[in-house]
Structure 1
Amino acid sequence: MSSAAAGSAQTDPRAATPVVETVLSFVNTRANGGGEQELFGDGRSFAAWLAERDEFGGETVATDADAAAARELRDALVTLLLAHSGDEESMGEPLQHAEEHLRRAGALYPLATVVTARGVELASPQAGVPRVFGTVLAAVTTVAQTGDWGRIKACRNPPCHFGFFDRTRNGGGLYCSTGCGSQVSMRNYRERQRRGSEAPPEA
């Protein structure tokens, strides 16, 4: 799927930074209606995914319990990204539960400040799977410090919910692609047509 958001023909030149890509690569691992497969289904599939990504430490031993924890962290983040897109179903109790889970994750996977002559960054001081989760949280924190956290969104077209970086000038993108935007528009049109046909005749 494209990471270009629909909704505006004019976009600003901002590009997704490596930390944004780190967040997106983690959240875009779930199965959806667009043919994407679950990549965190068990320890083996989670470890295979990690082995291909140096930003998470590369090859890592992972158990089924680790994969379940990865799914929980990912799904909590997706709920927040849906909230960034204004998705009503993610608001209220689902968002509250997601934020509580992320607070617990922040306590379980603390970050360390790494200071060098080149600059300062956050990194996980842990090893193995905890380092993976800490790296995700460090990327989220870094994005938030740049002011772009609200631009990382999840597509409002169910069941897509693909994570994308909203490059629209006004930050009003709702869908990961024009195709998803068109699907939602068509469903809304058909729903209006159905309701119109069910309306009782005027007396």
Structure 2
Amino acid sequence: MEAPRWNGDTAALVLSFVNTRADGAGNVEIFGTAAGFARWATQRGLLDTATVVTDSDAVAARELRDALVTTLLTHAGDPDIGDAQVAEAERYLRQAGVRYPLTTVVTAQTAQLLAGSSGVPGVLGSVLAAVTETAQRGDWMRIKACCNPPCHFGFVDRTRNRAARFCSPGCGSQVSMRALRQRRKQADPAAAGESASGRA
């Protein structure tokens, strides 16, 4: 079986973008402020330090990121993501594709997609370009978000059968333990209540 062909730049950019959320592991929200979003973009060479970034730009970045995270959760088969959420994410991503257009750049050696704008629209367009190039290589479905609700960390599924649902064994164990506690609670609500009061 042929190994997946990864373009580190495109996959790394997508994962860096989606992994800016606050999560259960103590990571803070990077796009919570204009300064946080600007710092992330300039560190990756996507934005000039002289560019003015506003709070509404940070909101736009969060909205694009959240739509992508929903999509990545569907790649992982998250049962908590319903059809309505998927449709809303896809609708937003179609609108983003119009708002942040891409340009095809062809040279004698390569052809690639680049953001068609500069400034903040160029940053978000660059993320969409990375998503598109990853999909064109057939690797998009391997980029997933962890199905452990406090986490949702983006990761690359490198398993042969593409069945990974969690970013780490620890997240998988947390979900299994929550499911076990829920089954016990449903089987014997009184015992579950006594157990909880005993722990208190």
By the TM > 0.5 criterion, same fold? yes
Q: Indicate if the aligned counterparts of 2:103 and 2:116 stay in contact, CA closer than 8 A.
A: yes
Q: Aligned equivalents of 2:52 and 2:125: distance in 1? A: 16
Match of 1:85 in 2: 76
Aligned residues: CA RMSD = 1.6
- Any gaps of 5 or more consecutive residues in structure 2? 191-200
Q: Aligned equivalents of 1:190 and 1:94: distance in 2? A: 27
How far apart are residue 15 of structure 1 and its match? 5.1
The percent identity for this pair of structures is 56
Q: Indicate if the aligned counterparts of 2:5 and 2:139 stay in contact, CA closer than 8 A.
A: no
Select the residue among 107, 115, 131 that pairs with 2:122: 131
Q: Aligned equivalents of 1:16 and 1:186: distance in 2? A: 36
Q: Indicate if the aligned counterparts of 2:48 and 2:119 stay in contact, CA closer than 8 A.
A: no
Match of 1:175 in 2: 166
- Any gaps of 5 or more consecutive residues in structure 1? 1-11
Q: Aligned equivalents of 2:52 and 2:159: distance in 1? A: 39
Please say which of residues 190-199 and 124-133 is displaced more in the overlay. 190-199
Select the residue among 8, 13, 16 that pairs with 1:22: 13
Q: Indicate if the aligned counterparts of 1:123 and 1:138 stay in contact, CA closer than 8 A.
A: yes
Verify: 1:116 aligned to 2:111, yes or no.
Answer: no
The Cα offsets for residues 103-140 of structure 1, whole Å up to 9 and x where unpaired, read as 00001111111111221100012110000011001001
TM-score using structure 1 length: 0.87
Select the residue among 39, 53, 59 that pairs with 1:48: 39
Secondary structure at 2:175 match in 1? helix
Verify: 1:193 aligned to 2:188, yes or no.
Answer: no
The Cα offsets for residues 52-106 of structure 1, whole Å up to 9 and x where unpaired, read as 112x245343100000000000000000001111112222111111100000000
Q: Indicate if the aligned counterparts of 2:18 and 2:65 stay in contact, CA closer than 8 A.
A: yes
TM-score using structure 2 length: 0.88
Match of 1:9 in 2: none
